Chains A and B, each alone.
Chain A
Amino acid sequence: MLREDRAVLDSRRVVVTGLGLASPLGCDVEEFWTNVTTGAVATALVTRFATDGYPTRLAAEVAAPGLSDPDPDVPRSVRYVRHSARAALRQAGLGQGAVARERAGIVVGTVMGTRPHLEELRRQGRPLTRGGPWDTPGLLADDPARTFGLRGPRQAVAAGCAAGNTALALAADEIRAGRADVMVAGGVDELSEAVFQLFTTLRALTPDRVRPFDRDRRGMLPSEGAGVLVLESLEHARRRGAQVLAELAGWAVAADAHHMTAPHPKSAGLLHCMAESLRGAGLRPDEIDHVSAHGTGTPANDALEAAAVAEFFTPYGARPALSSLKGMLGHAQGGASALEAIACVLAVGRGRVPGNPTLEHPDDACAPLDVVRGPSRDLPVRAALSNAFGFGGNTSAVVLTRYGG
């Protein structure tokens, strides 16, 4: 292959060179990885707001001085993204001058944007003014862009609880189209009483633990956090000698176009996304070793997702190791799939997949699947698929593969 041809191909390949996060299981990647592979469970009594009147009083919160403290001026979601982006850029070695800043951009996915900040303002007796940070979702991208001098493509994108993966997909599109060399991408949301109330009304909250794929699962628990990945064209990463953590080999977004809250009964969007993301990656289903499920722990979600994953993989004789982080983390909404993508990068790089530590009795619907028991499993992972979907029928999937040069 001519050197020029390889450079062109490498400019279209997207790799991961940095990770950063703020989560209820740690605000440092190593701490997070240790926790999600040793069965730590973050869901506990809510401290952020009074829950005396609620039948379920559990959620998962980020607890880190400076990040999660009340601050009337800077929403927690903005601080979570800023912290995560800083860590990811540091790991990528993208300090000042390491990249032409016009070629470095940011995409942040979210469900509620900075809106939950209005609750903090109300708790402090402050007015809701027009144009305030509580009503400016673009801040989630603007703030880190200004802080870190990212002057390339910039976007805040909402796609329900598929927002994290959707942000990765949009960012990867910018690189593949040649509009950027580096993209900071991920998702975020902060814990919100309105969301807690909403899911209470919908009777979607479990009274104890989140048990994805368990026959006795009783629902989900809200959570919060941010996950940020530094994406980069392989050509750019090679040129500056960056360490490649994994390749973002495929991605897809779609809509169920079915119902505002109920998933498509035949998982149309999810099946489409799994197929398209693998097609983009040039992989067959039997080349996927690990599936990071959306796995909220609600009866309806897990049954449909298990059936869709089985339908997709079984014809190829494939039984990838399946797990959901939400049994440990709760559901971080816009941050969820970004955190799950980070776990996939780590699984690919370290040969270990997180388990389902809250799983006791696997649902019969999971019989065709290899649902990981216990806190983790040592397993060489060539490629991992991460699914996400949300209210409104937004669906997305990303494929992360081991980088072999």
Chain B
Amino acid sequence: MPNQSLPSTDVVVTAVGAVTACGASTADLLDAVLGGAAFFRSAQVPLVAAPLPVARGEQPAQARVFAGHVTGDLDLTDTVGARTARALSRESRLLLHALNGCGAGPVADTERTGVVLGTLHAGRGEYLAIHDAAGGTGGVNPVWGPQTGYNAPAAQLSIHLGARGPNLTLSSGTTAGLDSVVVGARQVTDATCDTVVAAGVDTLCPAVLGDDDGTAVPEGEAAAVVVLQNARHATGAPLARVLGTARTTAGPGDDQAALTSAADRAIRGALAEADRSPAEVRFAVTASGGAPAVRRAQLTAITCLLGDSVPVYDAAASTGVTGGADGTLAVALAVEALRRGEVPPGAPEPGTPLALCLAVDAGGTASAVLLGGEVT
């Protein structure tokens, strides 16, 4: 039954899920971030997930990679059936596990449910595996084929959910995961959808040479899911509200100043859309892609606008840099903190805890999402 007392444009978060090196829940992630725990280790990474046996017997490449690895059983036989489970890419496995973790599943209103996903590398392993076997003399495992495109994990989500609304995969750098929430929230606000599953995912690759200079944050693999719903039509209890969103692009100038300006304008834009003041923001969660210049820009903008007492969290220190998942993880982390009441003390107005999520890409784009807890 629609709740007519709520504005039709209100967007609420009704579920969040995350699978990271820290564990298979947003609670695990928040515990790790608050405790300063990191989960990096060296482990074998295959080029593709569970390839079916093929006649030519190609051996997908493997290599040891020092990174934030997701551990544990990723079997999805009970969720999608044995045949489909075998054909899923690792990105899709992580995503469906994140979805299961937050209790989301096939939807009732198929036409009004959309999927928006952020990813920077989806299908990379499958593409490389096919190219490794290219030459025409033999076949390649046909299950890899449809997984080679960036859109494959989002498509798999729509198929699993039965969601026939828009299906979008965003790949514009570090902001992609947070962009999925921004674009998803706008689709709810403009009534394109009543529900949008916003998500982010990326996995590791054994065939890519790192630029390991000993100072960079290691890579990680992760998936995160944020279920956005029109407040009137929400089928789950609201965990948080999306109060404002903004996306900006750097203007001319030197890189550092331009990045800081983009971050500054994104924060101001989200606050303005929400009609809230900087003093109401209790904490911030950032996604920087591990780039030092971006990190500096984010911290400068946050400090200048929100003050230097606002805690700033970044999941990458615990999970590694997770590409398209970074920004969605930031939202999942913030919602979990709001839900659990893990809000840092010192808020100027009790009862109005706001969280700011900010992603900036070294290419010059910035995105911000302002979240409020249940009492906003």
With contact pairs A51-B136, A201-B140 given, residues A391 and B251 touching in the complex (Cβ less than 8 Å): no
Report the separation of the CA atoms of residues A391 and B166 in the bound assembly, to the nearest whole angstrom.
14
CB of A152, distance to nearest CB on chain B (Å) = 7
Asked if B155 and A201 sit within 8 Å, CB to CB, the answer is no
Asked if B115 and A255 sit within 8 Å, CB to CB, the answer is yes
Report the separation of the CA atoms of residues A52 and B137 in the bound assembly, to the nearest whole angstrom.
9
> Which of B115, B136, B207 is within 8 Å of A128, CB to CB?
B207
Q: Which residues of A contact B209 (CB under 8 A)?
A: 127-130
Asked if B170 and A393 sit within 8 Å, CB to CB, the answer is no
Number of interface residues of A (CB under 8 A): 72
Asked if B169 and A177 sit within 8 Å, CB to CB, the answer is no
In B94-113, which residues have CB < 8 Å from any A CB? Answer: 110-111
Asked if B131 and A392 sit within 8 Å, CB to CB, the answer is no
Q: Which residues of A contact B179 (CB under 8 A)?
A: 155
Asked if A102 and B166 sit within 8 Å, CB to CB, the answer is no
Q: Is the interface of A mostly helix, strand, loop or mixed?
A: mixed
Number of interface residues of B (CB under 8 A): 67
In B338-365, which residues have CB < 8 Å from any A CB? Answer: 361, 363-365
Q: Report the stretch among A18-26, A156-164, A296-304 that lies at the interface.
A: A156-164
| B130 contacts chain A at the CB level, 8 A cutoff | yes
Asked if A158 and B151 sit within 8 Å, CB to CB, the answer is yes
Q: Residue on B with the closest CB to A395?
A: B167
| B82 contacts chain A at the CB level, 8 A cutoff | no
CB of A175, distance to nearest CB on chain B (Å) = 13
Q: Give me 25 A-to-B residue pairs in the complex whose CB atoms sit less than 8 angstroms apart, sorted by A's number.
A: A55-B136, A102-B249, A105-B249, A110-B171, A113-B150, A128-B207, A128-B209, A142-B364, A150-B249, A151-B249, A154-B249, A154-B365, A159-B151, A193-B131, A193-B134, A195-B148, A196-B134, A197-B135, A201-B139, A202-B145, A254-B167, A268-B164, A272-B111, A391-B152, A392-B167
Asked if A157 and B168 sit within 8 Å, CB to CB, the answer is yes
With contact pairs A55-B136, A138-B172, A255-B167 given, residues A197 and B131 touching in the complex (Cβ less than 8 Å): yes
* Complex interface bits, B159-183 against A, C-beta within 8 A gives 1, otherwise 0: 1011111111111110010010000
Q: Report the stretch among A228-236, A258-266, A323-331, A344-352 that lies at the interface.
A: A258-266
Q: Which residues of B contact A102 (CB under 8 A)?
A: 249, 251
| B278 contacts chain A at the CB level, 8 A cutoff | no
Asked if A129 and B211 sit within 8 Å, CB to CB, the answer is yes
Q: Report the stretch among B119-127, B299-307, B308-316 that lies at the interface.
A: B119-127
* Complex interface bits, A32-43 against B, C-beta within 8 A gives 1, otherwise 0: 000000000000
Report the separation of the CA atoms of residues A160 and B156 in the bound assembly, to the nearest whole angstrom.
12
> Which of B146, B176, B252 is within 8 Å of A260, CB to CB?
B146
Report the separation of the CA atoms of residues A154 and B170 in the bound assembly, to the nearest whole angstrom.
10
> Which of A119, A142, A394 is within 8 Å of B173, CB to CB?
A142
| A257 contacts chain B at the CB level, 8 A cutoff | yes
| A256 contacts chain B at the CB level, 8 A cutoff | yes
Asked if A135 and B124 sit within 8 Å, CB to CB, the answer is yes
| B276 contacts chain A at the CB level, 8 A cutoff | no
Report the separation of the CA atoms of residues A51 and B135 in the bound assembly, to the nearest whole angstrom.
7
Q: Residue on A with the closest CB to B168?
A: A157
| B247 contacts chain A at the CB level, 8 A cutoff | yes
| A316 contacts chain B at the CB level, 8 A cutoff | no
Q: Residue on A with the closest CB to B140?
A: A201
With contact pairs A115-B124, A160-B151 given, residues A253 and B136 touching in the complex (Cβ less than 8 Å): no
Asked if A202 and B159 sit within 8 Å, CB to CB, the answer is no
Asked if B211 and A194 sit within 8 Å, CB to CB, the answer is no
Asked if A393 and B134 sit within 8 Å, CB to CB, the answer is no
Q: Which residues of B contact A128 (CB under 8 A)?
A: 207-209
CB of B51, distance to nearest CB on chain A (Å) = 13
Number of A-B contacts (CB under 8 A): 204
With contact pairs A52-B136, A198-B140 given, residues A157 and B165 touching in the complex (Cβ less than 8 Å): no
Report the separation of the CA atoms of residues A392 and B169 in the bound assembly, to the nearest whole angstrom.
11
Asked if B166 and A157 sit within 8 Å, CB to CB, the answer is no
Q: Which residues of B contact A219 (CB under 8 A)?
A: none
Asked if A118 and B186 sit within 8 Å, CB to CB, the answer is no
Q: Which residues of B contact A195 (CB under 8 A)?
A: 148
Asked if A257 and B249 sit within 8 Å, CB to CB, the answer is no
| A354 contacts chain B at the CB level, 8 A cutoff | no
Asked if A110 and B150 sit within 8 Å, CB to CB, the answer is yes
Q: Which residues of B contact A371 (CB under 8 A)?
A: none
| B190 contacts chain A at the CB level, 8 A cutoff | yes
Q: Which residues of B contact A111 (CB under 8 A)?
A: 149-151
| B334 contacts chain A at the CB level, 8 A cutoff | no
CB of A255, distance to nearest CB on chain B (Å) = 4
Asked if B124 and A153 sit within 8 Å, CB to CB, the answer is no
In A120-173, which residues have CB < 8 Å from any B CB? Answer: 122, 127-131, 135-138, 141-142, 145-146, 149-160, 163, 166, 170, 173
Report the separation of the CA atoms of residues A195 and B121 in the bound assembly, to the nearest whole angstrom.
17
With contact pairs A138-B173, A156-B171, A261-B146 given, residues A198 and B130 touching in the complex (Cβ less than 8 Å): yes
Q: Which residues of A contact B137 (CB under 8 A)?
A: 53
CB of A200, distance to nearest CB on chain B (Å) = 6
Asked if B127 and A253 sit within 8 Å, CB to CB, the answer is no
Q: Which residues of B contact A258 (CB under 8 A)?
A: 159
Asked if A254 and B164 sit within 8 Å, CB to CB, the answer is yes
| A112 contacts chain B at the CB level, 8 A cutoff | yes
Asked if B127 and A194 sit within 8 Å, CB to CB, the answer is yes
Report the separation of the CA atoms of residues A55 and B361 in the bound assembly, to the nearest whole angstrom.
44
Q: Residue on B with the closest CB to A55?
A: B136
In B210-259, which residues have CB < 8 Å from any A CB? Answer: 210-211, 219, 247, 249-252
In A33-68, which residues have CB < 8 Å from any B CB? Answer: 50-55
Asked if B164 and A138 sit within 8 Å, CB to CB, the answer is no
Listed from nearest, the 6 A-B pairs whose CB atoms lie closest are A392-B155, A54-B136, A53-B136, A158-B150, A255-B167, A158-B169
> Which of B110, B144, B172 is within 8 Å of A154, CB to CB?
B172
Q: Residue on A with the closest CB to B258?
A: A151
Asked if A145 and B130 sit within 8 Å, CB to CB, the answer is no
Most chain B beta carbons < 10 A, residue from A196, A198, A391: A198
Q: Which residues of B contact A256 (CB under 8 A)?
A: 158, 164
CB of B126, distance to nearest CB on chain A (Å) = 9
> Which of A51, A110, A259 is within 8 Å of B159, CB to CB?
A259
With contact pairs A52-B136, A154-B172, A200-B136 given, residues A255 and B166 touching in the complex (Cβ less than 8 Å): yes
